[in-house]
Amino acid sequence: MLYWAFIFLLVAIVAAIFGFGGIVGAAVGVAKFLFFLFLILFVISLIFGRRRNL
């Protein structure tokens, strides 16, 4: 999931260089969403992973 967030971020950067404003906004929005979703799932997996080992 983090891989896809970085892919959309790269798409946004390339689109910004070439001046495609609408694509930049959409790609940045998707990249932010995927990144925060990754962070939430990562923290949840850390919490539940530690509980199982105890």
pLDDT in tens, 9-50: 888 888 888 887 787 888 888 888 988 999 999 999 888 887
pLDDT at 40: 93
pLDDT for 51 beyond 70: no
Query: DSSP state, 18?
Result: H
pLDDT for 53 beyond 60: no
